[in-house]
Amino acid sequence: MIHTLGLPAVLHSDGNVTPLMEDIVKMGFDGLQSLQPNADIVAVKRAWGDRICLMGNLDLDYLLTLGTPREVEAEVKKLISSVAPGGGFILSTTNVLTRYVPPENALTIYLTAEKKPHSLNNRLNISFSIFSEIRPQHAAEPN
């Protein structure tokens, strides 16, 4: 039904859903949020990235809460360089930012991603901000 409205269908899931990816793609989902760090996002992108937009993979439990801004920057750069090429990727955390995430780590995500221009596939037009916004390219602008 959501596709009849011209909207993308995005599945939210927790955990490593790699064994279910073929079924997720066959069900017609346009996006998967959130691909957890225990899933090999590069392998998932290689196998299904031309058919589904991947979102996530920034580790909220350890990296963002206990890591340094330098470690966060390195992971953001790694994800963008290894998963964003060809489109179909939304950089995000695996869940909402909690009070346990030092503000400098949250800001590092944004500042690092902002330095790395990237385009995504034509199914989803992504406007990156500290919160990602998903809008179909063909949807009418709100009045």
> Which domains does the chain carry?
2-135 (3.20.20.210)
pLDDT tens digit sequence for 62-97:
999 999 999 999 999 999 999 998 888 999 998 888
Asked if 91 and 84 touch (Cβ cutoff 8 Å), the reply is yes
Q: How confident is the model at residue 117 (pLDDT cuts 50, 70, 90)?
A: low
Q: 3-class SS at 19?
A: helix
Q: How confident is the model at residue 132 (pLDDT cuts 50, 70, 90)?
A: very low
Strand order across the beta sheet in which 89-93 lies: 10-12, 31-35, 53-58, 89-93
Query: With 80 as the cut, is the pLDDT of residue 136 above it?
Result: no
| Average pLDDT of span 4-16 | 89
pTM here is 0.77
Query: With 50 as the cut, is the pLDDT of residue 138 above it?
Result: no
Query: With 60 as the cut, is the pLDDT of residue 5 above it?
Result: yes
Quote the CA–CA distance of 68 and 87 in Å, as a whole number: 28
| Of 80, 71, 79, the residue nearest 39 (C-alpha) | 79
pLDDT tens digit sequence for 23-58:
999 999 999 998 888 899 999 999 999 999 999 889
Element (H, E) at 105: helix 103-115
pLDDT of residue 121: 33
| Average pLDDT of span 2-17 | 89
